[in-house]
Chain A
Amino acid sequence: GAVVSQHPSRVICKSGTSVKIECRSLDFQATTMFWYRQFPKQSLMLMATSNEGSKATYEQGVEKDKFLINHASLTLSTLTVTSAHPEDSSFYICSAGTGKTEAFFGQGTRLTVV
């Protein structure tokens, strides 16, 4: 299947700092990428839809100024958690569509804010 690479796999940052997470489609072009968040023992929740060359669409309750999404190319989308706080600690996962029928997911990024 197609490969989606997410980096870093885990990161620890201090409260108040910003963290950037990268999501790359390695062997295909993705016009649309999705960002999910998953808290412990919960399911994945969609945060935003990232479209190449345009502004991201955020789900209700997700602060667009706090979770900055950039999709500058067909193979790269980034999620920046700005002014991170302990409650932002979570597992962040991206996915990308191949233009076929199924989406593929990155490995996820475990963010811990201390």
Chain B
Amino acid sequence: DAKTTQPPSMDCAEGRAANLPCNHSTISGNEYVYWYRQIHSQGPQYIIHGLKNNETNEMASLIITEDRKSSTLILPHATLRDTAVYYCIVRVEGSARQLTFGSGTQLTVLP
């Protein structure tokens, strides 16, 4: 699986959009970009994933650059409950393979 690089921490004001970047310059053509988050002392939670097109669901939007070497997870209106570690993972599609977690980005939403 391709390696990813994320900033170790970010702050965001409550109610504002949180934009979390991820670099994955060695991504292969069949690898997807997955985002998970882990709230303190809980198991990771799936957020969203995509291949090359931008994706949106009820939780977030995923913007992938045209060359696919980087992406941004957008939480449109961050709340205090969005404070968590966010992991960007690049891998081939399918849940029958393990996930390799990097160090992620600690997002702190400030009141």
Contact = CB atoms under 8 A, between A and B. Distances in A.
Q: Do A and B come from one complex?
A: yes
Interface of A: 1, 4, 6, 31-32, 34, 36, 43-46, 49, 91, 93-108, 110
Contacts of B104: 43
Interface of B: 32, 34, 38, 41-46, 49, 87, 93-104
The binding surface of chain A is classed by DSSP as strand
Contacts, number: 63
A31 B96 contact: yes
Given A43-B104, A101-B94, A102-B95, A91 B46 contact: no
A102 B96 CA distance: 9
Contact of A101 (B38, B43, B93, B103): B93
Contacts of B42: 107-108
A106 B43 CA distance: 6
Contact of B95 (A36, A103, A107): A103
Contact of A100 (B45, B95, B99): B95
Given A101-B49, A103-B46, A104-B46, A91 B95 contact: no
A102 B41 contact: no
B95 A108 contact: no
A91 B41 contact: yes
B103 A34 contact: no
Given A44-B44, A108-B43, A95 B99 contact: yes
